A and B are shown apart, each in its own frame.
Chain A
Amino acid sequence: MKHLLEVKNLETRFYMQDGVVKAVNNVSYTMDRGEILGVVGESGCGKSVHALSMMQLIPYPPGKITNGEVWLDGQDLLTLSEEEMQKVRGREIAMIFQDPMTSLNPVYTVGFQIMEALLLHNNMSRREARDRAGELLELVGIPGAKDRLDDYPHQFSGGMRQRAMIAMGLSCEPKLLIADEPTTALDVTIQAQIIDLVKKLQDELGMAIMWITHDLGVVAELAHTINVMYAGSIVETGKIHNIYKDTKHPYTIGLLGSLPRLDDAPGTELVSIPGLPPDLLALPEGCPFAARCVYRIDKCLAEKPPLVEINGKDHAVACWRWEEIAGMGSR
């Protein structure tokens, strides 16, 4: 089966005054139709930048995609011109951002903003677009949707705004929806609502979703596949069960260990990862995680481990010592 999305050797750099920030380094993976992919990592690990690179939304200068291919349905997005990209954005790939407060324009009504996307990409009359906008708002569970089309964003609560953003994202039935930390700014109970909504929508509409987050808990409830990113590279990727139950990479092990769990015995000390993520301006030669890794050997400092597939096709890890570490960290 042909993949919906295939990213090959994607590499993004930011040319700053102080040097070159290696934001995304040689990232390759695939996504299938109808798949929910969780991209997990800490701030500055390149998870958002790599998504923006796919959309060619990197500010240039200082940012530049220096290498790679992004195949979406048989089309390499990185070779497209700005005009052609504008047709892809919104129609084929839609994006939802973290802060629902700033991603909606405060001077236009919510209905108008949804209609705008519809009018731009589809041959629709204003009336049709308005009806469709109402349907979309209803789809994302806003009560009294038709009456709220003429509301301004400030009349919506944070959760409702994020729903409206999702409605905008869905308006042209994209093949891929990229959600960049969509629930980080929301409260837990509202986050639960949104996760529930996204699951339902995905069942109904069947689009692929890329869910970018720092929260390993959220993707555990949602995703089919997980990419764990660290310092601009994918360090571990695989089906969700492989990642959580058969963790191989020491970073993923540490990340899972540093989360307190509701079934922990009292007094358990959290496993913390010592030190800090490396400075992307001066990435070390070898494995980017080596400086913080307890399993480090000399080879790790000298040579960057490639992402190797293990257990057939559903799990890959970038670590020289995964075979020895295997099993030690999973709980």
Chain B
Amino acid sequence: MTQINPEEFIVTDFAVREHRSLWGDAWRRLISSNTARLGMFVVILFISSATLSHFFWEYEPKKDLDYSLKLKAPNLTVTEEIPSIHPFGTDKLGRDIFRRVVHGGWNSLRVGIVAVGISLIFGGVIGLLTGFYETITMTTVERITLFGISGFLLGSLSAWIANQPLQLVGFTLLGLVAGYFEGFWAGQLKRVVFFSVLGILISAVPALFAGSSVALVCGVLGLLTGIFLALALDGRFFSNVMMRIMDMILSFPGYLLAIAIVAFLGPGLGKGMIAIGVVGIPVYARLTRSAVLSVVNKEYILAAQSVGESHGRIIFRHITPNILSPIIVQTTMGLANAILSAAALGFLGLGAIPPEPEWGAMLGDSYRYLTSGAWWAVLFPGLAIMLSVLGFNLLGDGLRDALDPKLRT
């Protein structure tokens, strides 16, 4: 019997789990789910039909008009009465609904991407910064920048009331100064008094030109701004201010706010996109912030700090990749939401301007003819909205399951 000498004993190389990247794993899980595959199919169909038709199938909505073909039912063969094929029928101006539905897809796609882009960029950055500085101490440069922004945001309110852009500049400067002098006069009380007086001066003096009552209101606002800036010289303050602003936006009903913004900016698809985007900002900000907060307390963030990595590097290398999953899911769902919102605005006549093909507007144009039996004019744009929204939602659900970190050990 041979005895193995412990000294010579070589361990078989450590059994490591199979080499797979996390994203690869997620992809494999995604395509193994039937609902996700269905969602992906619908989404790809939607995107490709919209893009291809926009670039390769010319359509000029302003010239598309033929009263002789008014409200014809769908036909798949050419007859004497109807010399062309209209698989989805025609609408009240004799326009081919199939053509308009396909081209309307481009508009919906645009709205979705631009609106979600606006929400994602603004909301994401706000969420990232507020979540990060909630727990991590700022460096001087960062403090100055962020307090400058806080001052700007706080000042814009009183500047708006008094209609004096000078105040905006003044408050921004105040924020910068407050950020720089962290240990200014050591005692907090002195600092508070100093900054509140400064706030009143910046705010009330220019407002005096507008009238004494305005000066009073602005003075109070200035006082509060000064106190805020002086009292809480940390990231938590910045985070608080930002999130309360988000709460304010969120406290309006979404559609009403979008309608209000469009009413303010004037109708048009582009303005609709902005409105829908702005309404979505707080959703993304909150989501990002909570995702950041769950990551920022992990030990690997501490490890990165102890190695001496800068805050920017930590945000980009350590935090961003780890919060992507919920954001990807939300973005996918958000696209569906934006398409729906755009359709709602269009239906109310606040989105796309009439001859432009847009699903909501098409519905709004045609629902009156439903009583006269023209079901096709309503059914097909409605189906298009439903299918595209369903597709994005199914895909979003699939992504959520695929990216769920709970499945991982």
In the complex they form, whether A and B have CB atoms below 8 Å apart is answered with yes
Which secondary structure dominates where chain A touches chain B? Answer: loop
Interface residues of B in 1-29 (CB under 8 A from A): 1-4, 6, 9, 11-12, 14-15, 17
A294 within 8 A of B: yes
The reply to whether A295 and B15 form a contact with Cβ atoms under 8 Å apart is: no
Q: How far is the CA of A295 from the CA of B9 in the complex (A)?
A: 9
The reply to whether A292 and B4 form a contact with Cβ atoms under 8 Å apart is: no
The reply to whether B14 and A297 form a contact with Cβ atoms under 8 Å apart is: no
The reply to whether A324 and B1 form a contact with Cβ atoms under 8 Å apart is: yes
A89 within 8 A of B: no
B4: chain A residues within 8 A (beta carbon) = 294-296
Select from chain B the residue with minimum beta-carbon distance to A299.
B1
A295: chain B residues within 8 A (beta carbon) = 3-4
Interface residues of A in 300-324 (CB under 8 A from B): 324
Q: How far is the CA of A107 from the CA of B185 in the complex (A)?
A: 48
The reply to whether B12 and A291 form a contact with Cβ atoms under 8 Å apart is: yes
The reply to whether A276 and B12 form a contact with Cβ atoms under 8 Å apart is: no
Interface contacts (Cβ under 8 Å), in number, total 24
The reply to whether B3 and A275 form a contact with Cβ atoms under 8 Å apart is: no
B17: chain A residues within 8 A (beta carbon) = 279
Select from chain B the residue with minimum beta-carbon distance to A281.
B17
The reply to whether A294 and B6 form a contact with Cβ atoms under 8 Å apart is: yes
Which secondary structure dominates where chain B touches chain A? Answer: loop
The reply to whether A297 and B1 form a contact with Cβ atoms under 8 Å apart is: yes
Q: How far is the CA of A296 from the CA of B9 in the complex (A)?
A: 10
A274 within 8 A of B: yes
Q: How far is the CA of A13 from the CA of B103 in the complex (A)?
A: 55
The reply to whether A292 and B11 form a contact with Cβ atoms under 8 Å apart is: yes
Select from chain A the residue with minimum beta-carbon distance to B2.
A297
The reply to whether A274 and B11 form a contact with Cβ atoms under 8 Å apart is: yes
Distance to closest chain B CB from A320 (angstroms): 10
Cβ contact of B14, chosen from A275, A294, A324, cutoff 8 A: A275
A278 within 8 A of B: yes
Select from chain A the residue with minimum beta-carbon distance to B10.
A274
Distance to closest chain A CB from B167 (angstroms): 48
Q: How far is the CA of A292 from the CA of B2 in the complex (A)?
A: 17
Cβ contact of A275, chosen from B1, B2, B11, cutoff 8 A: B11
Select from chain A the residue with minimum beta-carbon distance to B17.
A279
Per-position binary interface string of chain A over residues 264-286, scored 1 when its CB falls under 8 Å from any chain B CB and 0 otherwise: 00000000001110110000000
The reply to whether B14 and A276 form a contact with Cβ atoms under 8 Å apart is: yes
Distance to closest chain B CB from A269 (angstroms): 12
With known contacts A294-B4, A297-B1, A276–B9 Cβ distance under 8 A: no
The reply to whether B15 and A278 form a contact with Cβ atoms under 8 Å apart is: yes
Q: How far is the CA of A211 from the CA of B11 in the complex (A)?
A: 32
Q: How far is the CA of A161 from the CA of B211 in the complex (A)?
A: 65
Q: How far is the CA of A326 from the CA of B33 in the complex (A)?
A: 55
B12: chain A residues within 8 A (beta carbon) = 275, 291
The reply to whether B2 and A274 form a contact with Cβ atoms under 8 Å apart is: no
Distance to closest chain A CB from B361 (angstroms): 47
Per-position binary interface string of chain B over residues 366-394, scored 1 when its CB falls under 8 Å from any chain A CB and 0 otherwise: 00000000000000000000000000000
Q: How far is the CA of A132 from the CA of B3 in the complex (A)?
A: 61
Distance to closest chain A CB from B18 (angstroms): 9
The reply to whether B9 and A294 form a contact with Cβ atoms under 8 Å apart is: yes
Q: How far is the CA of A275 from the CA of B14 in the complex (A)?
A: 6
Q: How far is the CA of A324 from the CA of B3 in the complex (A)?
A: 10
Per-position binary interface string of chain B over residues 52-90, scored 1 when its CB falls under 8 Å from any chain A CB and 0 otherwise: 000000000000000000000000000000000000000
Q: How far is the CA of A294 from the CA of B14 in the complex (A)?
A: 16
Q: How far is the CA of A247 from the CA of B4 in the complex (A)?
A: 19
Query: What are 13 of the A-B contact pairs (CB < 8 Å)?
Result: A274-B11, A275-B11, A275-B14, A275-B15, A276-B14, A278-B15, A279-B15, A291-B11, A292-B11, A294-B4, A295-B4, A297-B2, A324-B1
